Homo-oligomer: A and B are copies of this chain.
Amino acid sequence: MLENLTLQSVLAAAERIAPHVVRTPVLRHALADAGGEPGHDRAGGLRTELLLKAESLQPIGAFKLRGAFSLMTTLIAGIPGVVAHSSGNHAQAVACAAARLGLRAVIVMPSDAPELKRKRTAAWGAEIVTVGPDSDERAERCESIAATEGLAIVPPYDHPLVAAGQGTAALELFEDVGAMSRFYAPVSGGGLMAGCATVLAALSPDTEIIGVEPRDGDDTARSLAAGERVEVPPPQTIADGLRVRRPGALTFPVVQAHVARIELVDDDELLDTMAWALTHLHLVLEPSGAAALAVARREGAASPGATTRAGTNQAEVMRAGVILSGGNVDSGLLAEVVARAGGMMARPPRSPAP
């Protein structure tokens, strides 16, 4: 169990990071019919209200800034800099935080990181070291650089201060909207989920907490089933932020304690959801950033209100909190998403009223 990760530690992180991090908006979006499309259904009323925490609107385009500042604002004076390994968004977060706090930053990145994320990281003045596509190799290199150069490691997820920082996303969501029926967030190493689940277990204990993983990267689902951390082969999913091969040692017990279930999404559903977000939310999401939304839409459309109370004016409203975790997507993939959006735009947003 991650003993130092508590509601109190998230509240303390919120105070430390407030000067540096954006309080992102919560966008409310109604799913009104079984097609899961937006609109106001005069016959049946609102079925599901999505409460979308748009972390894609952070300055670096992802929630990772929260964890980076949470840890880095506790470093004592005299530490010359930090080192981190990341497939992209954590790299930008650490580089950005280091620039603001006046620290040197060395970032170990995979060879298959999106070009956009790599260039943005370098643009913050960070030094980049490239090490294969496997996350274990990167962790090892990160430790050796820290030891050789006297730098502090900023882990991407498996640290109580990092997880506490990520948990501030759920704290703000709860402060803005109150209790939710369900909460959806992507699970990779588990830092975001551990932090958010800690907050919601304390403040909104009736919320069903749902983790989302790519089908090809379901290490947390397998680990929960096995009752211990399981490793999967390197995932090939387009969700480059969710390619971790096994849950964090410190975060996994928190996930075990609080997450009700894990749902899986495939690349096709991620692309569809990215196109839907472009068209209906006017937001750019990266594949990882669309993962929780993909499942929330699927389940929102199939919620009890939609299936058993159709035709009445009293459909129950399911309130679903969703973390839109990031928006950094290469233009090539974005072009593919726009092409899908074209097909989507050709259909009306809902069936015409009767």
> Which A residues fall within an 8 A CB radius of B?
22, 24-25, 27-30, 38-40, 42, 54, 56-57, 59, 61, 96, 99-100, 102, 115-116, 119-120, 122-125, 278, 281-285, 327-328, 330-332, 334-335, 338-339, 341-342, 345-353
Report the copy number of this chain in the oligomer: 2
| Contact (Cβ within 8 A) A348 B123 | yes
Least CB distance, A314 to chain B, in whole angstroms: 17
Q: Given contact pairs A115-B346, A283-B283, enumerate 13 new A-B contacts (beta carbons under 8 Å).
A: A22-B27, A25-B27, A57-B281, A116-B345, A119-B345, A119-B347, A119-B349, A124-B353, A282-B284, A282-B328, A331-B338, A334-B341, A338-B338
Question: Which residues of B lie under 8 Å from residue A27 when comparing CB positions?
Answer: 22, 25, 57
Least CB distance, A12 to chain B, in whole angstroms: 24
Q: Closest chain B residue to A337 by CB distance?
A: B338
Question: Which residues of B lie under 8 Å from residue A353 when comparing CB positions?
Answer: 99, 124-125
| Contact (Cβ within 8 A) B327 A331 | no
Question: Which residues of B lie under 8 Å from residue A25 when comparing CB positions?
Answer: 24-25, 27, 54, 57
| Contact (Cβ within 8 A) B40 A100 | yes
Q: How far is the CA of A347 from the CA of B57 in the complex (A)?
A: 20
Q: Closest chain B residue to A277 by CB distance?
A: B284
Question: Which residues of B lie under 8 Å from residue A125 when comparing CB positions?
Answer: 42, 352-353
- Please pick, from B285, B331, B345, the residue contacting A341 in the complex, using a CB distance under 8 A: B331
Of the A-B pairs whose beta carbons lie under 8 Å apart in the complex, a sample of 15, sorted by A's number, is A22-B27, A24-B25, A27-B57, A39-B123, A40-B99, A42-B102, A119-B345, A119-B348, A125-B353, A283-B284, A330-B345, A332-B342, A334-B338, A335-B335, A338-B338
| Contact (Cβ within 8 A) B278 A348 | no
Known A28-B22, A42-B99; contact A331-B345, beta-carbon cutoff 8 A: yes
Question: Which residues of B lie under 8 Å from residue A30 when comparing CB positions?
Answer: 59
Q: Closest chain B residue to A335 by CB distance?
A: B338
Question: Which residues of B lie under 8 Å from residue A39 when comparing CB positions?
Answer: 123-124
Q: How far is the CA of A146 from the CA of B154 in the complex (A)?
A: 66
Question: Which residues of B lie under 8 Å from residue A56 when comparing CB positions?
Answer: 282
| Contact (Cβ within 8 A) B115 A345 | yes
